[in-house]
């Protein structure tokens, strides 16, 4: 089965959510929390920000999503033109698990920095380098903040180009 949400966009992250986006996001969330294993399509520049109770994770191309990883998810935010596919065999599942761990490790490396503004700047830079400025502009400050453990205001100030006193 393929879940393809390439029509999902959020032109203004601070605007009210589009009802179609909410329905599509709820569909993806339902798939993740069902316990079934999915994989972010590695043939596309896409991913999924997965909100948990107190933090958010990013699962990029090739990463496993759903199954036991995400039964506690409460919201999702597609990044790029999201495409989820079902792994075809055990080998593909194993590879997807390893890739999910790599995405988690990358985020963990960013959060090792004790200075919040630097953590926020690094996650913004990572996403900008991988997805481009247009895609990054569509992602709410709160999503980045929850991924690296900073206040949304820190992300907002960095996006505005203001310096933050350390």
Q: What is the largest CA-CA distance in the chain?
A: 51
**Range of the structural domain that residue 36 is part of:** 2-159
Is residue 108 included in any domain, yes or no?
Answer: yes
Is residue 165 included in any domain, yes or no?
Answer: no
Q: How confident is the model at residue 53 (pLDDT cuts 50, 70, 90)?
A: very high
* Number of folded domains that form the chain: 1
Is pLDDT at 115 greater than 70 in this prediction? yes
CA distance 126 to 104: 13
Is residue 164 included in any domain, yes or no?
Answer: no
**Structure tokens given for 108:** 């963990």
Q: How confident is the model at residue 129 (pLDDT cuts 50, 70, 90)?
A: very high
Q: How confident is the model at residue 23 (pLDDT cuts 50, 70, 90)?
A: confident
**Structure tokens given for 104:** 């988690």
Is residue 149 included in any domain, yes or no?
Answer: yes
Q: Where are the beta strands (DSSP E) in 81-141?
A: 82-85
Mean pLDDT of 78-102: 97
Find all residues with CB under 8 Å of 29, minimum gap 6, and list them.
Answer: 73, 74, 75, 76
What pTM was estimated for this model as a whole? 0.84
Q: How confident is the model at residue 2 (pLDDT cuts 50, 70, 90)?
A: very low
Predicted pLDDT of residue 20: 56
Is residue 43 included in any domain, yes or no?
Answer: yes
Q: Where are the beta strands (DSSP E) in the chain?
A: 2-5, 37-40, 46-51, 56-59, 64-66, 75-80, 82-85
Is residue 166 included in any domain, yes or no?
Answer: no
| CB 96 within 8 Å of CB 39 | yes
């Amino acid at each position: 089965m393929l879940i393809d949400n390439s029509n999902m966009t959020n032109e203004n992250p601070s605007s009210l959510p589009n009802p179609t986006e909410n329905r599509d996001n709820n569909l993806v969330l339902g798939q993740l929390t069902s316990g079934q294993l999915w994989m972010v399509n590695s043939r596309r520049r896409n991913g999924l920000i997965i909100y948990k109770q107190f933090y958010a994770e990013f699962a990029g191309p090739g990463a496993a999503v759903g199954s036991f990883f995400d039964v506690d998810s409460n919201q999702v935010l597609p990044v790029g033109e999201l495409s989820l596919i079902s792994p075809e065999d055990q080998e593909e599942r194993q590879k997807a698990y390893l890739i999910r761990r790599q995405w988690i490790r990358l985020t963990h490396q960013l959060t090792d920095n004790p200075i919040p503004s630097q953590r926020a700047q690094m996650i913004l830079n990572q996403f900008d380098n991988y997805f481009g400025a247009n895609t990054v502009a569509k992602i709410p400050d709160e999503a980045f903040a929850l991924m690296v453990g900073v206040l949304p205001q820190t992300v907002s100030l960095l996006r505005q180009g203001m310096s933050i006193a350390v």
